[in-house]
Structure 1
Amino acid sequence: MDFNLDWLLIPDYKAPGNFLLIFVILFVGIFLRYLALAWIYHEWVYKKLGDTMPYRRLHQQVRLPQVKKEIRYSFLGGLIFAFAGVVLLILWQSGLTQLYTRLSWWDLIWIPASYFLALFIHETYYYWLHRWMHQPKVLRHFHRIHHNSLYTSSFTSFSFHPIEAGLQAIFLPILILVLPMHFFVLIALLLTMSITAVINHSGIEVYPEGAQSNSFFRWMVGATHHDQHHLKYRCNYGLYFTFWDVWMKTEDAGFTKRFEDHTRERHSAINS
């Protein structure tokens, strides 16, 4: 069975006119997706749930000047990610990637397996990249832009210096050169990256009380986990999962207590 994407192969992406057209389409999609996800999450989760369950919020709403600055850097990041997207399409059109569209019975196993394998590889890449970006000189030159948002919001999720955005954008074009991956998996990865970035920067914890005792949720990065990274800098470097932080002993020693205190207070407030 084929998931027909042959129409995507018709234009020559290396031709200047087509390159520019696809670049603009990708940029508009990427940037509008960021604005929509960030705004919806901020308005309907941070504000609405926070008003009903006051102990969910990790801190108060950030000020408008910070949000405007985050949107400006996200605009630049969108340009870089759009460029990477066109490069990805050129590589695919040139037959250099491991992307495929044909579905077989083997994909019942390989699609979920390749999805989680890609997440593991991305987590590993990002964790060590992130630790490198916290070297004093590197932090001072570009990673500080993201950390200027000491108290984060969903709009912080895409706010990076262009160099940092580039280092993140190159991951998928390189990954598809070596890892066989169905287009469904690529789309799922893009959605996962966007949604988890918004959740983890939103300033409101959505994981329930007792999550740190759960064998699944224990390994997930959430808003409390990443919020401590922005407050303390030298801890909690994970992207999706906490296992590298645990293995390398870079998880903040007070994280579990803060999460439990925060969710316990929230639970008490809801039941009072």
Structure 2
Amino acid sequence: MEFNLDWLLKTDYTTPSNFLILTGILLVGIFLRYLALAWIYHELVYKKLGDFRPYRRLHQQVKLGQVRREIWYSFLGAIIFALAGTAMLICWQRGYTQLYTSLSVLDILWIPLAFIAALFIHETYYYWLHRWMHHPKVLHRFHHIHHTSLYTSSFTSFSFHPVEAGFQAIFLPVLVLLLPMHFFVLIGLLITMSVTAVINHSGVEVYPSSAVKSPMTKWIIGATHHDMHHLKYRCNYGLYFTFWDQWMGTEESGFEDRFLKHSVKEKSIPDKFTS
């Protein structure tokens, strides 16, 4: 069985007009996705869960001026990500990538493994990139844009200096050149990147208190973990998981106590939030 995407490959995207059209389409899609996810999460999760149990909020709602600045830098970043997306599609069209659309039994077995491998590689890349970005000179030149948001919101999730956005955007185009990956895995990665970025910057802890103790979920980064990074700078550099922070001794020692303070037990959540 094959997931047919031949219609994507029929146009020559290397011509200036088609290149600009495709990049423009991706730009609109990426930026609107960011705005929709950030706004929906802020309205439905931060406000509603915050009203239900105010102490789940890590801090008070950020000011409008900060949100406007974050949206502007997210728009600039969306341009970079759109260019990276166009480059990735051209490479796929030319047969340079390891992307494929067939769906055999072997492919079905490989899809979850490829997804896990991609997450691990991305986590590793981002952790060490992030530590480098906290070198004083690098931090001062561009990473400070993201850290201007001392108290984060879901709109902070893609607010980066264009140079930093470039370092982040280049990951997927390079990964698909090297790792055999079904198109579904690529889509899954894009969704995971978008959703986790919003969750981790939202300013409200959505994971229950049991998550920090469970062998299956204690490695997952949430809002509390990343919020401490914005407040203290020299800790909690991870993207999806905490294992590199734990292995390298860069996880803030007070994380677990703060997580328990701002999370709730499942049995205390009303039916309207669990049904």
SS in 2 for 1:217: coil
> Match of 1:10?
10
Give, in whole Å, the separation in 1 of the partners of 2:111 and 2:32.
28
Deviations 1:145-199 (A, max 9, x none): 0000000000000000000000000000000001000000000000000000000
Instruction: Confirm or deny: 8 A CA contact 2:208 2:266 kept in the other structure.
Output: no
Q: Identify the range of structure 1 (261-270 vs 76-85) with the bigger mean alpha-carbon deviation.
A: 261-270
Instruction: Confirm or deny: 8 A CA contact 1:56 1:266 kept in the other structure.
Output: no
Give, in whole Å, the separation in 2 of the partners of 1:220 and 1:240.
6
Matches within 5 A, 1:11-160: 11-160=11-160
Ranges of 4+ aligned residues in structure 1 off by more than 4 Å: 264-270
> Match of 1:163?
163
Give, in whole Å, the separation in 2 of the partners of 1:209 and 1:118.
28
Deviations 1:75-133 (A, max 9, x none): 00000000000000010011000000111101221000000100000000000000000
CA apart distance, 1:48 = 1.2
Give, in whole Å, the separation in 2 of the partners of 1:267 and 1:60.
25
Give, in whole Å, the separation in 2 of the partners of 1:56 and 1:245.
24
Q: Identify the range of structure 1 (50-59 vs 238-247) with the bigger mean alpha-carbon deviation.
A: 50-59
CA apart distance, 1:267 = 7.8
Aligned residues: 270
Matches within 5 A, 1:110-259: 110-259=110-259
> Match of 2:273?
none
Give, in whole Å, the separation in 2 of the partners of 1:55 and 1:131.
30
TM-aligned CA distance change 1:164 to 1:264, over 3 Å: same
Normalised by the length of structure 1, the TM-score is 0.97
SS in 2 for 1:151: coil
CA apart distance, 1:261 = 2.3
RMSD between superposed Cα atoms in Å:
1.4
Instruction: Confirm or deny: 8 A CA contact 1:55 1:265 kept in the other structure.
Output: no
TM-aligned CA distance change 1:267 to 1:254, over 3 Å: farther
CA apart distance, 1:269 = 9.7
CA apart distance, 1:264 = 5.3
CA apart distance, 1:268 = 7.3
Give, in whole Å, the separation in 2 of the partners of 1:156 and 1:167.
17
Give, in whole Å, the separation in 2 of the partners of 1:135 and 1:198.
25
CA apart distance, 1:216 = 1.4
Give, in whole Å, the separation in 2 of the partners of 1:64 and 1:267.
35
Q: Structure 2: any 5+ residue segments left out of the alignment? A: 271-275
Instruction: Confirm or deny: 8 A CA contact 1:54 1:266 kept in the other structure.
Output: no
SS in 1 for 2:152: coil
Give, in whole Å, the separation in 2 of the partners of 1:183 and 1:133.
31
Instruction: Confirm or deny: 8 A CA contact 1:53 1:266 kept in the other structure.
Output: no
Normalised by the length of structure 2, the TM-score is 0.96
Identical-pair percentage: 71
